[in-house]
Amino acid sequence: MEQTLTPVFSVSELNEYVATLLTADPNLCDIRVSGEISGFKRHTSGHLYFSLKDENALVHCVMFRQQAMRLNFNPQDGMRVMLMGRASLYEKDGTFQLYANYLKKGGEGELFARFLALKAELEQKGYFAQERKRPIPFLPGRVGVVTSETGAAVQDIVNIIRRRFPRMPIVLAPVRVQGQGASNEIARAIALMNEANAADVLIVGRGGGSMEELWAFNEPEVAEAIVQSRIPIISAVGHETDFTIADFAADLRAPTPSAAAELCVPEMQACYDAADSLAERMRRALRASLERMRSNVKLFASSSAFRLLERKVQTERQTLDLTRESALRAAKERIKCERTTLGTLQAKLTALGPSAVLERGYAILADSAGKTVTGVSTLKPKDSIAITMRDGTAEASIERVESKA
């Protein structure tokens, strides 16, 4: 039995064949598809690239610049639209996609509606209040990063911090940033960073993606962890056009992870320059203060109040000198008088002394015991006495005693 050989296609031939089949199918040449916009991007060329999705599936879409210029609204992620166009295959990479000729706004998608509802609820609770925001330290001691350890975001953050401030310690808390359970991991990592006091500021985020891919940062448990954190938090989720609940709850929102790193630490050279500038300002301020003090002193020295005070001081000095001289003269006079009085007393004492008496021809008698004899009543015959006169002493014996009594 003769077998029919199956043709062998090259990849290009296969993609071209499938594209031809899709283009030829009348049901796919003028198709209408309703879904929610996800992963929307406007290229610099003006072409629009996005996906349409529902709860079970997703399809890639493109709208070229000529058709996009006719739109009367700005497509956004989460927006529900109806697309009119055709289905085909992008032959270069074999991607099945829709080519949109027209988009009609059909209302907000389910995810976007959930986002707005949660945002309104948390805003009502005060989670986004400006007065609750904590200041970001100018120069943290350590930087904590809560993100995927394999994504490009962590590399961007580390590289920029190392470039700006090479000695800055970085503490990484690796987590899943999308998929089931990612939000719980992010919230737990923030709590653990606080429990361990692991950093002075936290960067929480990831690289860009669709609303579904960023959804972990729209969960209430992440917002709660950010609000409860004692450590200031910089949210860095996606690209500049992406906004999440975490962005509103954080103390500071950075448009990208790279921008978060720049906001987190200053450049080291800038710190040196700032310190030098501060020191110079302090020197100038000190010089100006000293100059003002000199001027004030000069001004006061030339004032009438100062001259009056100076005259008073001079008068008091002169009075003090006069008082000192008067006191000195009085003291000298008092000493002179005291010396005169002392001389008079000394002369009197000398005149009354034994030597003066002896000089006038008197003598002093003493018994054998050396006691002065003051009267004959203490003497009896044959007693020996000593007679002291001006020029010496003589001994004598009592022969007879006569009393006047």
- Dihedral (Cα; 290, 296, 300, 301), 10-degree rounding: 40
Residue carrying the six token digits 């000198």: 321
Contact between 186 and 174 (Cβ < 8 Å): no
Distance from C-alpha of 295 to C-alpha of 291, rounded to nearest angstrom: 6
pLDDT averaged over consecutive 10-residue blocks of the chain (405 residues)? 72 89 87 91 93 90 92 88 91 92 74 86 94 93 95 93 92 94 96 96 90 90 96 90 89 93 87 81 90 83 76 80 84 87 81 70 79 78 81 83 73
Question: What confidence score (pLDDT) does residue 405 get?
Answer: 61
Contact between 260 and 239 (Cβ < 8 Å): no
Question: What confidence score (pLDDT) does residue 109 get?
Answer: 63
Rounded to a whole number of angstroms, the distance between the first and last alpha carbons of the chain is 202
Distance, CA of 383 to chain centre: 114
Q: List the strands of the sheet with 364-366, edge to edge.
A: 364-366, 384-389, 392-397
Measuring CA to CA, which residue among 227, 148, 231 is closest to residue 195?
231
Question: What confidence score (pLDDT) does residue 97 get?
Answer: 95
**Which parts of 198-302 fold into alpha helices (H)?**
220-228, 245-249, 257-264, 268-301
